[in-house]
Amino acid sequence: MSDALLHDALAGLTAIPKTLPGKYLWDETGSDLFDQICHSADYYPTAQETALLPRAAAEVARTVEPGVTVVEFGSGASRKIRTLLDALPEPAAYVAIDISGAYLEAAIRRLAPDYPGIAMVPVCADYSKPVALPVQAGPGGILGFYPGTSIGNFDPTEAGLFLERARATLGPSLFLVGADGTTDPERLHRAYGAADGLMAAFHRNILIRLNRECGADFDCDNFRHEIRLLSDPFRVEAHLVATQPGTYRLGGQTIEVAASESIRTDTSHKYTAEAFQALARAAGWQPRALWQAEGGSFNLHLLQAEA
């Protein structure tokens, strides 16, 4: 991972404007901080999606045959999957795909004892590239699961490509995907700017990671976390903004950061239900059902792969 991290970080930090790919936020510390964020009352997406899941799980359970293999993209702490595994008729296997390897293994070690009849298959992989399943589909077929509104971290073109890759990975399947539709600025500022003060630590951790894994010398205290709401397409961007000019070393190169210059560390695109369904259709998925929180501020979509 460090070679790719160094390569991508150098490309992003020598570009104008400066960026770091959001997928590198996710080491063990980043995953742990995010799990704490999910427990913050400010971070509404977790509460909204968690409230919708039991109804969705009951409906999916009526649709699939016994022995389904459930494949989760970006499984993190593997908490939401419990609602599905509890509802589905005798699931055969749970394939958990995540880029944060050590955290993934620990999450599966915690989950496995509660589901002794289900094969647990952790897959440490980057789903921004093609991922092959290491197991055959169970007798009940395949159910994909992509919660956490992570689809929003791709721009719309990349999100479409992700949905196409997921179609190839999952084959004939159903796919349950959570997509945030919130546009209320106050709510977004609380969730992405504050979340009990944890968001700043979550984003600064990417610099700590570059220092530890790539021998960089960023002074994290010289950066403050800021979020920006932008339109066309509507999105929330997270930035680390330099509070003073700095000269840093990374991979034998010099990175100059001017005072007030920012490094974009993540983006979260928001989708109306209709916009997401259009994206899914274009990628070969038919919308089958939709569960909505507060008139569309969060949407949980059930998609079916087109034959």
Which chain residues interact with ligand SAM by CB under 6 A? 23, 26, 31, 34, 38, 74-76, 80, 97-100, 126-128, 147-148, 150
Query: Closest Cα partner for 179 from 81, 95, 268, 285?
Result: 268
Q: Are 182 and 298 in contact (CB under 8 A)?
A: yes
CB atoms within 10 A of CB 66: 12
Query: From CA 96, how far away is CA 114, in angstroms rounded?
Result: 16
- Which is nearer to ligand SAM, 26 or 248 (by Cβ)? 26
Q: Report CA Rg, the chain.
A: 19
Query: From CA 108, how far away is CA 171, in angstroms rounded?
Result: 24
- Which is nearer to ligand SAM, 46 or 173 (by Cβ)? 46
Q: Are 80 and 147 in contact (CB under 8 A)?
A: yes
Query: From CA 164, how far away is CA 276, in angstroms rounded?
Result: 14
- Which is nearer to ligand SAM, 98 or 237 (by Cβ)? 98
Q: Are 85 and 112 in contact (CB under 8 A)?
A: no
What is the smallest separation between the CB atom of 147 and ligand SAM, expressed in angstroms? Answer: 4
What is the smallest separation between the CB atom of 107 and ligand SAM, expressed in angstroms? Answer: 9
What is the smallest separation between the CB atom of 222 and ligand SAM, expressed in angstroms? Answer: 26
Query: From CA 269, how far away is CA 151, in angstroms rounded?
Result: 8
- Which is nearer to ligand SAM, 110 or 249 (by Cβ)? 110
What is the smallest separation between the CB atom of 253 and ligand SAM, expressed in angstroms? Answer: 25
Closest residue by beta carbon to ligand SAM? 74
- Which is nearer to ligand SAM, 158 or 256 (by Cβ)? 158
What is the smallest separation between the CB atom of 113 and ligand SAM, expressed in angstroms? Answer: 20
Q: Are 258 and 282 in contact (CB under 8 A)?
A: no
What is the smallest separation between the CB atom of 221 and ligand SAM, expressed in angstroms? Answer: 26
- Which is nearer to ligand SAM, 26 or 223 (by Cβ)? 26
